[in-house]
């Protein structure tokens, strides 16, 4: 195409009768730029006339441009199927976490997933990014990443809960705090190693190669990873702790530690978990006897 900007193409499309014209630079191949124009055509607008005006604006033949029309009913149908698939996915995940852990943890995990998705979609709306099929795939990837990190945290909390001795004066909040401290660096390192390839994809793929689809995918992934890096620690686990502290066992533990204070409860949790972690579960191996010559 000729050297034109996206704003110029958008103005030509609007003059041709395309309502709400949105122009996106898709790829850069040598000296040719490839643009994607989206918008709504009225009932009296001729598709061929729009293509002809756009071709004249970029100094190419009309046969070099391609057009495709999608009806609103098709978009509604796709959106409906996506919503049903999302509901089925969340129900299956909730059932798995309920069986694997407990219903309180499944509720906390779903809250973390909703938190990550809402913030990512909100960032897209705030900056005016266009939602494409690549963005939807990125949203699904973000949900899987958030669930993975949350399950790791829940597994550590459950393991530490089993290590606590009976009738220990440790509250569930203290148990959760100690468990989060144990997995904090792991979560940070996982987030950093996950974000580095995404940043490379964004810089090299979108910045150097000019692949707009990669930019859409990478931006959604990067926002989701940054948001999901703390949601499993500071969204899912506090919800679980608030629900668990309503149980009789943990309410009695909290009542027993009210006079001692929360810091002493955390010290007791650290001491109990350290003692149980290093308790031998099998007899020591016998030493080898040296042979006398």
Contact between 35 and 26 under an 8 Å Cβ cutoff? The reply is yes
Separation between Cα atoms, residue 232 and residue 228, nearest integer Å: 7
pLDDT at 170: 77
Looking at residue 210, its pLDDT comes to 58
Other CB atoms within 10 A of residue 287 CB: 6
The encoded tokens of residue 226 equal: 């940054």
- Domains of the chain are 6-64 (no CATH), 72-277 (1.20.1640.10)
**Residues 216-229: b if buried by 16+ CB within 10 A, e if exposed:** bbbbbbbbbbbbbb
Distance (Å, rounded) from C-alpha 236 to C-alpha 116?
Answer: 11
Residue 171, token pair as written in the block: 């509250």
User: How do residues 83-113 score in pLDDT, each as one tens digit?
Assistant: 787 788 888 888 998 998 889 999 999 999 8
Q: pTM of this prediction?
A: 0.67
CB atoms within 10 A of CB 117: 19
65: Cβ–Cβ under 8 A, 6 or more apart, which residues?
51, 54, 55
DSSP letter, residue 70:
-
What's the first-to-final CA gap in the chain, in angstroms?
90
pLDDT of residue 279: 46
Tell me 265's DSSP state.
H
pLDDT at 280: 44
Cα–Cα distance measured from residue 124 to residue 130, given in angstroms and rounded to the nearest whole number: 7
**For residues 253, 258, 263 and 268, what is the CA-based torsion angle, rounded to 10 degrees?**
-30
Over the stretch 120-148, which tens digit does the pLDDT of each residue have? 888 877 877 766 677 777 788 888 888 88
Structure tokens at 199: 């940043």
Backbone torsion region of residue 25, taken as left when φ is above 0, otherwise alpha when ψ lies between -120 and 50, otherwise beta: beta
Which pLDDT band, with edges at 50, 70 and 90, does 262 fall under? Answer: low
Collect contacts of 256-262 with beta carbons under 8 A, ≥24 apart.
256/169, 257/169, 257/170, 257/171, 257/174, 260/169, 262/171, 262/173, 262/174
State how far the Cα of 235 lies from the Cα of 180, in Å rounded to an integer: 12
The three-state secondary structure class of 289 is: coil
Alpha helices in 101-234 (DSSP H): 103-127, 133-163, 172-200, 212-231
The C-alpha atoms of residue 214 and residue 198 are separated, in whole angstroms, by: 10
């Amino acid at each position: 195409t000729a050297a034109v900007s996206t704003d110029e193409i958008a103005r030509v499309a609007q003059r041709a009768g395309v309502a709400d014209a949105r122009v996106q630079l898709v790829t850069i191949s040598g000296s040719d730029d490839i643009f994607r124009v989206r918008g709504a055509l009225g009932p009296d607008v001729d598709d061929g006339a729009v293509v002809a005006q756009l071709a004249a604006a970029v100094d190419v033949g009309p046969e070099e441009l391609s057009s495709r029309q999608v009806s609103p009913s098709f978009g509604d149908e796709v959106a409906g199927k996506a919503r049903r698939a999302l509901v089925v996915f969340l129900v299956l995940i909730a059932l798995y976490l309920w069986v694997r852990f407990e219903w309180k943890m499944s509720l906390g995990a779903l809250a973390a997933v909703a938190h990550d998705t809402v913030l990512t979609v909100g960032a897209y709306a705030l900056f005016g990014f266009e939602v494409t099929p690549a963005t939807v795939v990125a949203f699904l990837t973000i949900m899987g990443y958030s669930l993975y990190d949350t399950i790791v945290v829940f597994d550590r909390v459950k393991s530490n809960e089993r290590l606590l001795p009976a009738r220990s004066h440790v509250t569930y909040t203290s148990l959760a705090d100690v468990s989060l401290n144990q997995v904090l660096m792991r979560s940070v390192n996982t987030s950093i190693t996950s974000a580095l390839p995404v940043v490379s994809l964004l810089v090299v793929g979108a910045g150097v190669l000019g692949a707009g689809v990669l930019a859409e995918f990478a931006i959604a992934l990067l926002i989701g990873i940054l948001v999901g890096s703390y949601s499993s620690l500071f969204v899912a686990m506090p919800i679980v702790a608030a629900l668990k502290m309503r149980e009789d066992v943990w309410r009695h533990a909290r009542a027993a530690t009210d006079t001692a204070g929360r810091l002493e409860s955390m010290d007791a949790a650290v001491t109990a978990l350290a003692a149980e972690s290093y308790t031998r579960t099998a007899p020591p191996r016998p030493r080898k006897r040296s042979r006398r010559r």
